[in-house]
Amino acid sequence: MLTETQHLHKLYQQFQHDIATLTTQLADLSTEAKQVKRQLGTDGHLDLGTYTETLDTFASIEANNRQIDTLNTRAQTAATRLAHAKLLLPQAYFAKLQLDYGDDDPEAYHLGKVGYIDAQANDLVYDWRAPVADAYYANRTGATSYQANGRDIPVTVLARQQFVIDHDQLLQVVNTQSAIGDPLLLAVLAENRSGGLQEITATIQQEQNAIIRESTHQVVLVDGVAGSGKTSVLLQRVAYQLYRHRDTWTSADILILTPNTAFSRYIRGVLPALGEAEPLTSTYANLIQAVGTRLGLTVTNLADNHLATLDRLLQQPFLPTPAGLSPQAYAQTDSQDSFLNRMQHAWRWLTAMQQLPADVSHWLDWDALAAQWHLATLTTYDQLYLLIKITNYQQTTTAALFVDEAQDYDADTWLMLQALFTKAQLTIVGDHRQRLTGQAPDIAAYFTNQTIQPLQLTTSYRATGAITTYFAQFAGDWQSRIKAVQANGLTPQTVTTADLKSVLDQLPIQNGQSVGIITPNQASADTLATQFPIAHHLTAAGHQTVQPGLNLMALPVAKGLEFDHAIIVDWTNPYYLDTETGDHRRYVATSRGTKTLTLITDSGPID
């Protein structure tokens, strides 16, 4: 039997051989395809002189089409194997699972970021998303089970091993019964936080795995504490859903709503690292602008709207004919029915009578309708919501919607998303303690027509124990529930100086590490940026993301980001002392650092 080192070397050589072979094979297939197309160009004339000649001609065309289809299939298979071999070359696998199915003949499964089969279709590496991998992420040895093809498969986990691998070098082997607190997890958590977010395949924990693989509810609603890996879990769930629906979904069927452009750039690259194409990402404002354009509306302002009021009015009877609507169309409806049902019925009647308006955005007299409802106005955002509800407009191209930083969205957002994505699977991730202004609405209340699975993440992996304990004091009733994984580390420091340079000089900053300098507002961040021109100035609309060295931003931009060292400037600013959300702001600010946390209380000018 091969040792683990021998097995790795053999697999590494297999990858190298297959990369060379598949590269040549793809080149040969491309050449062959060009030759077939040229042949079709010379022989593809139609000879329909006689019945026999016609049959021969169509038979020849069909044979050529089958040949092209075969070449395409072979090329696609080779391209997938080549991409997977290249992806696995630096790290062939990260874990090994030994299972006993009750026949006293243990089977070994090596788990990697993607699956890999050889030319004879033998499994060499199993995808971390494969059903059998669930037995690994259960984080225990002994009797367990996993679901496959709708059946419960009972197994006994004889051994779980984790590996640190660099190409063909086996650097570390960890035999473990539980990943919580194991050396591999702690080593990963200790890595520098610079650049974009990294995938967490090798260190997914049991509570995270439950969210990633949840597949029985249309809406998965996650409330997780700071540092619990919410965004990482969301992205791993995207990859899992693409694997689970690989015969019907592509990355184009996925939409991720992010709070800003900087955050979108921060998460870019995670899915390609897992063998998947980048999914579509958008801010909510950009999504609404795009939908508005399709319905002939220019929506530039999402404030001062009446969606909650309109939602209530839609459910009530409305006797007069809505301004701008044909009285004949409205007369076809039941006067005792709700306004929404009557308008939807009228829309269907107009469709059947081929009387739909050429420009749906001007279908109704919005100003007059507002007056009928005793409203001052109907904004374009209001108009869009009414059109979506009345016409039953759906975002059918989106099979699954993923929403991050969900606590920041107001009630009107959830009304709109529920109307737009009634058929999509939804994964909604947030932390109600990280809302910086106002109170977060009860998100579940907007999805009562769908099955909802509420889940929680209470373990914080991001920061040292001392930092975790510090930010937990601002978490309200969740303070006692937040658990830390890392060692205590350095105690957070409070300094009463405005000399930021001296603070930086005293920090144990190493090469490649990131420093997040967080201000209460954008104005102070802009001012500070003029004094530290070498700092990366992160803004909500900008394209910069976390980099090694100094990163400067206002607190709202820092949400969702993490740094090796966090410095909170102007800690005693009234912004942090607000009676309603001051603790939320302190909680967010103090949970950005992973290794050190420094609070500067002096609000005077920065030298």
Q: Which residue ranges are tagged as binding site? A: 224-231
Give me the residue label for tokens 């699956």.
115
SS (H, E, C) 480-517: HHCEECCCCCCCCEEECCCCHHHHHHHCCCCCCCEEEE
- Binding residue positions for ATP: 224-231
Sequence-distant (6+) residues with CB within 8 A of 10 are 2
Compute the Cα dihedral for 188, 194, 200, 202 and give only its sign.
negative
Q: Is 599 helix (H, G, I), strand (E, B) or coil?
A: strand
Measured distance CA(212)–CA(402) in Å, rounded: 12
Beta-strand runs (E) in 249-345: 254-257, 280-282
* Residue 202 CA to its chain's centroid (Å): 18
Integer-rounded Cα radius of gyration of the chain: 29
Compute the Cα dihedral for 254, 257, 262, 263 and give only its sign.
negative
What's the CA angle centered on 100, arms 99 and 104, to 5 degrees?
145
Query: What single letter denotes the amino acid at residue 37?
Result: K
Measured distance CA(147)–CA(145) in Å, rounded: 7
Q: How far, CA to CA in Å, does 154 sit from each of 33, 101, 214, 317, 387?
A: 47, 7, 19, 56, 51
CB 185 within 8 A of CB 485: yes
Measured distance CA(136)–CA(179) in Å, rounded: 10
CB 16 within 8 A of CB 7: no
